[in-house]
Amino acid sequence: GAVVSQHPSRVICKSGTSVKIECRSLDFQATTMFWYRQFPKQSLMLMATSNEGSKATYEQGVEKDKFLINHASLTLSTLTVTSAHPEDSSFYICSARGDLGETQYFGPGTRLLVL
Amino acid sequence: QQQVKQSPQSLIVQKGGISIINCAYENTAFDYFPWYQQFPGKGPALLIAIRPDVSEKKEGRFTISFNKSAKQFSLHIMDSQPGDSATYFCAASNEAAGNKLTFGGGTRVLVKP
């Protein structure tokens, strides 16, 4: 149990375009989903927290207009990187937490490369 | 401000040996301490977690030791295997702050056959 999926697993896009990443909890209802960014050989950095049906809470330094987060249902959250630039190239990982317990279950990640 | 400091950054251990990774935290409000294992190109997977009301937790070959007064906790991997070669992250969270995880910097473990 506690499986989280992400789609796509990797994406290459041109500078200036927008990219949407989906995060789904497959076998539980995720009241809270988190979005992280991880650069090579570095730790995970929390970008934002989203609760179903409400606006996401962004960490300091993360542009909310650039990284649009939608958590429309208890099993789906999306991250849209708008007007992507090469410096946005990174590994984006989501996690999900149910309403019981504090454990976060992570998705497999999405590798974004902006040319 | 790095609230969770992890050491060492990398570790090489022989097959069958013990891998030990240490973490120290600053925020005394943290009340949940998980360890995650991450393979290249994959998302982190929860290994084992502990709460501050216990000093040790063991699951198979993985043991967490927790020292509340010192604000330190460590992961011991017994009988290390080549398949354990991965990056390990400690983390900490606080329920009152929404269970947001603060990660340590990670330790790359290489188990040599």
pLDDT digits (tens, 9 = 90+) for B44-102: 999 999 999 999 999 999 999 999 999 999 999 999 999 999 999 999 998 887 788 99
Give residue A102's pLDDT. 77
Q: How far apart are CA B30 and CA B38, in angstroms?
A: 23
Q: Where are the extended beta strands (E) located within chain A? A: 4-7, 10-13, 19-25, 32-38, 44-51, 57-58, 67-73, 76-81, 90-97, 105-106, 110-114
Window 81-100 of B: residues touching A by CB (8 A cutoff) are: 89, 93, 95, 98-100
Cβ–Cβ < 8 Å for A77, A30:
yes
State how far the alpha carbon of A86 is from the alpha carbons of B7, B57, B104, in Å. 31, 43, 26
CB-based contact B100 A108, cutoff 8 Å:
no
Q: How far apart are CA A54 and CA B6, in angstroms?
A: 34
The helix, strand and coil proportions of chain A, stated in percent and rounded to the nearest 5, come to 5, 50, 45
Measure the CA angle with vertex B33, ends B67 and A96; round to 5°: 175
- For residue A93, which residues of chain B lie inside 8 Å, CB to CB? 43-44
- Which helix H or strand E contains A50, and what residues bound it? strand A44-51
Q: How far apart are CA A109 and CA B36, in angstroms?
A: 14
CB-based contact A43 B98, cutoff 8 Å:
no
Identity of the amino acid at A87: E
Give residue A1's pLDDT. 63
Q: How far apart are CA A94 and CA B96, in angstroms?
A: 21
* Interface residue A47 vs chain B (CB under 8 A): no
- For residue B34, which residues of chain A lie inside 8 Å, CB to CB? 103-104
Cβ–Cβ < 8 Å for A2, A104:
no
Compute φ and ψ for A44, nearest 5 degrees.
-85, 135
* Interface residue A44 vs chain B (CB under 8 A): yes
Q: Closest by alpha carbon to B53, among B70, B66, B62, B63? A: B66
Averaged over B27-47, what is the pLDDT?
94
Pick among A44, A58, A59, A95 to test the B interface (most B CBs inside 10 A) = A44
Name the pLDDT band for B2 (thresholds 50, 70, 90). low
Residue of B nearest to A97 (CA): B99
Closest CA of chain A from B93, distance in Å:
9
CA dihedral B105, B102, B30, A60 (to 10 degrees): 130
CB-based contact B100 A4, cutoff 8 Å:
no
- For residue A111, which residues of chain B lie inside 8 Å, CB to CB? 41
